[in-house]
Amino acid sequence: MTSPSRLLGACAAPAVAFFAAFWLLPVVRLFALPADKGWATYFAVLTNSRYLQSLLNTLGISLAVTLVTLVLGALVGITLARLRFTGKPLLLSLLTLPLSFPGVIIGFFIILLGGRQGLVADLTEWLGMGRTTFAYGLMGLFLGYLYFSLPRAIATYTAAASAIDAQLEEAARSLGASRWQVAKDVWIPELAQTTLACGAIVFATSMGAFGTAFTLASKFEVLPITIYNEFTNYANFALAASLSITLGIITWLSLFLARRAAGPAAAGA
């Protein structure tokens, strides 16, 4: 009879072999590649002003999107958790639908809203203000990122707020707590973990988002687009590798730190 641990090893072996061959090994090579062009290549993102600008753009838009997403997501989630109306399950499932959309579709949505033939252009023209477009600049990119971030935040906060004991709030109220006190003492502590976990995912997703910016061909350059251009248009593999390493470390680190801070309860991100 084979020993249990050998049996478990045999069960895991195919996945381990596959993962080692098609992720670990390639990523190790990716890490080694910039060294061919000298050690300075690893720090290109800091020493080259164009790459630095792209990194700062990406960090800035991701932070802004994360903040707005968390505030809107929390308010909408809490409202949806407490309101009762017909069609609520349908609305919730429609609101989470975009989680499965590729980024390119979201870019297209922003074009439908704010592009040259967009809805907003029609509206502003009708109002006599000329055709307004916002799809191809910072505003379009921001709204696109917000669009793919909100579903996750709304779903997470609705679930978390539904789970909060309504009696806790009742008790606080009956003891004469004001609305703000209830928010401060009941809601915020209960939702802090959700906020941390959800915020890290939204931030990491925004940092690495490619499809939306690609469709919008935005004038506001973000790091994934810079990497793509270096790789495809300039065949500068070492630099593309260096920038991807930087990006990967940032997204991994933000998720890792959030998980550390939130403890095992929030591990199911």
Burial zone of 224 (CB within 10 Å; 0-12 exposed, 13-18 middle, 19+ buried): buried
Both tokens of 177, joined, read: 């707590």
- Beta carbon of residue 67, minimum distance to other proteins (angstroms, whole number): 15
- Identify which range of 41-49, 113-121, 134-142, 190-198 contacts other proteins by CB under 8 A: 113-121
Position 93 contacts other proteins (CB under 8 A): yes
Other CB atoms within 10 A of residue 192 CB: 12
Position 120 contacts other proteins (CB under 8 A): no
Quote the CA–CA distance of 208 and 159 in Å, as a whole number: 26
Position 229 contacts other proteins (CB under 8 A): no
Position 67 contacts other proteins (CB under 8 A): no
Quote the CA–CA distance of 193 and 265 in Å, as a whole number: 8
Quote the CA–CA distance of 15 and 159 in Å, as a whole number: 33
Position 33 contacts other proteins (CB under 8 A): yes
Position 26 contacts other proteins (CB under 8 A): yes
Interface pick for other proteins out of 224, 239, 262, 266 (rule CB under 8 A): 224
Position 27 contacts other proteins (CB under 8 A): yes
For residues 100 and 206, the answer to whether their CB atoms sit within 8 Å is: no
Among residues 59 and 231, whose Cβ is nearest to other proteins? 231
Position 34 contacts other proteins (CB under 8 A): no
Among residues 141 and 227, whose Cβ is nearest to other proteins? 227
- Beta carbon of residue 30, minimum distance to other proteins (angstroms, whole number): 4
Sign of CA dihedral 70, 75, 77, 81: positive
Q: At what angle do helices 237-262 and 223-232 cross, to 10 degrees?
A: 150
- Beta carbon of residue 117, minimum distance to other proteins (angstroms, whole number): 6
Interface pattern 145-184 for other proteins (x via CB under 8 A): --x--xx--x------------------------x-----
Binding residue count for other proteins, defined by CB under 8 A: 78
- Identify which range of 40-48, 49-57, 75-83, 125-133 contacts other proteins by CB under 8 A: 75-83
Interface pick for other proteins out of 55, 135, 202, 204 (rule CB under 8 A): 204
Quote the CA–CA distance of 56 and 226 in Å, as a whole number: 12
Quote the CA–CA distance of 147 and 144 in Å, as a whole number: 5
| Phi, psi values for residue 173, rounded to 5° | -60, -50
For residues 148 and 161, the answer to whether their CB atoms sit within 8 Å is: no
Position 37 contacts other proteins (CB under 8 A): no
